[in-house]
Amino acid sequence: MTASAHTGGAVTADHDLRSELTEFYARQMQALDAGQAEQWAATFTEDGVFAANAYPQPTVGRAAITEAVKAAAAQLAADQVVHRHWLGMLAVYPVDEHTVRTRFYALVIQTPKNGVAAIHRSTIAEDELVRGGDGWQVRRRDVTRDDL
Amino acid sequence: MTASAHTGGAVTADHDLRSELTEFYARQMQALDAGQAEQWAATFTEDGVFAANAYPQPTVGRAAITEAVKAAAAQLAADQVVHRHWLGMLAVYPVDEHTVRTRFYALVIQTPKNGVAAIHRSTIAEDELVRGGDGWQVRRRDVTRDDL
Amino acid sequence: MTASAHTGGAVTADHDLRSELTEFYARQMQALDAGQAEQWAATFTEDGVFAANAYPQPTVGRAAITEAVKAAAAQLAADQVVHRHWLGMLAVYPVDEHTVRTRFYALVIQTPKNGVAAIHRSTIAEDELVRGGDGWQVRRRDVTRDDL
């Protein structure tokens, strides 16, 4: 896809879409970093898939996604470390009225209590999102760590 | 607040709002990092408040905000260090036609002359903004450093 | 220019412009980091100029821009290092219907294979872009490294 592909077609609709998704991701990441496991899981579909090249198998379904974040948040609290997930360079590829694909970079910034902040991970990710009655949800996310 | 709360209601207006605020923050941060103290202070209301968990008391009013940035810029120049403030993961919560609350992450990237760039601070911040005849202004900002 | 300058005038058009440019930059950076030299070069005008304070002379024209990225991508592959270019704090200054100037921050995040991600460069950049039949293209980019 060329860099200018997005500028053709239904421009206004696409701009609304980009704005919606940008807000969606901001709130999704804030929920994750606050350890709000249910709110994080609610940003995925009921059968949502979270796959990463760092793990042998994807996490499938809201219940499993909720548990994974609860465990991660408990570990961070025990370690007295704060994580901040930053998304950037968000490219939006509309599929149809109810489906969109995105490709973006994500950083994890790690700060130990009384310590120095640093980049923990640099990744690139791809989402498939669907629009329901309650807004956008991730049907599948694939995260690729740059170091692996 | 759920991750999808933003997608209901007056969608177009909200998208314009997000765009306005994104441009506002870009210019506000560039003014700060360029040491343009008056331009930075003008992005706050006359009685604007800048509070941070790193400081015992908030900075109150444009005159005090101007002086604080002048002092910080002079110190950076003396140390031959460049700071870049990056805002991200901006979540926008409209209050009424003239008021909006935001919650976002902010990094300070520090680069010494002839040295290596690194993260200086990782923070989360909340703003209350009001719209005047001259555009948006911050009435109160609360910054929380991740390391404290 | 004041921080609120953008909020006056043709608001809707400006918001579409910001959205278009944000998408443009996301795709441009992803093309660069994927080593897609022709797609990267196609985001510049045929006579596009890439200037940086790190280099004695600017790179001029798509052919030279293509070769420069091919060489950089080959070196990164040989070194087993991944680069991610992040743009942020994008300020948009419309000139006329077909021309826009922007000013933004850019980071290069570097990750060695099996290594730790870190900031490689912190920069500030200014673009002049023109709109053609195929979307926005950069006519001139000036990148200033914070360490020099």
The string of pLDDT tens digits covering residues C50-62 is 999 999 999 999 9
pLDDT at A133: 79
CB contact under 8 A, B18 and A15: no
Q: Indicate if the alpha-carbon torsion angle B136, B1, A113, A111 is positive or negative.
A: negative
Residue B77 φ/ψ region, left for φ over 0, alpha for ψ in the -120 to 50 degree band, beta for the rest = alpha
- Is a pLDDT exceeding 50 seen at residue A4? no
Residue A127 and residue A76: Cα distance in Å, rounded?
25
- Is residue B2 one of the residues assigned to a domain? no
ipTM computed for the complex: 0.90
> What is the band of B134 on the pLDDT scale with cuts at 50, 70, 90?
confident
Question: Any CB–CB contact under 8 A between C124 and chain B?
Answer: yes
- Is a pLDDT exceeding 60 seen at residue A144? yes
pLDDT tens digits for range C56-89: 999 999 999 999 999 999 999 999 999 999 999 9
pLDDT tens digits for range B63-75: 999 999 999 999 9
- Is residue C2 one of the residues assigned to a domain? no
- Is residue A4 one of the residues assigned to a domain? no
Q: Which residue of C has its CA nearest to B23?
A: C91
For an interface test with C, the pick among A89, A92, A103, A147 (most C C-beta atoms closer than 10 Å) comes out as A89
- Is a pLDDT exceeding 60 seen at residue B3? no
DSSP-assigned states of every residue in B20-44:
HHHHHHHHHHHHHHTT-HHHHHTTE
B100: Cβ contacts below 8 Å, ≥ 6 apart: B17, B21, B92, B93, B94, B128, B129, B131, B136
- Is residue C1 one of the residues assigned to a domain? no
- Is residue C88 one of the residues assigned to a domain? yes
pLDDT at A13: 53
Q: Which residues pair with B88 in a beta bridge?
A: B105
- CATH number of domain containing A98: 3.10.450.50
Write the residue in C12, C122, C146 that is nearest to B16 by C-beta: C12
Tell me the residue range of the domain where C98 lies. 10-145
Residue A35 and residue A30: Cα distance in Å, rounded?
9
Write the residue in B90, B92, B147 that is nearest to A115 by C-beta: B147
CB contact under 8 A, C7 and B43: no
Taking CB atoms and an 8 Å cutoff, what residues of chain B touch A111?
Answer: 122, 146-147
- Is residue C4 one of the residues assigned to a domain? no
Question: Any CB–CB contact under 8 A between C24 and chain A?
Answer: yes
- Is residue B3 one of the residues assigned to a domain? no
- Is residue C133 one of the residues assigned to a domain? yes
Helix (H, G, I), strand (E, B) or coil at A107: strand
**Domain count of the fold of chain B:** 1
- Is a pLDDT exceeding 60 seen at residue A9? no
What percentage of residues in chain C have a pLDDT greater than 70?
Answer: 91
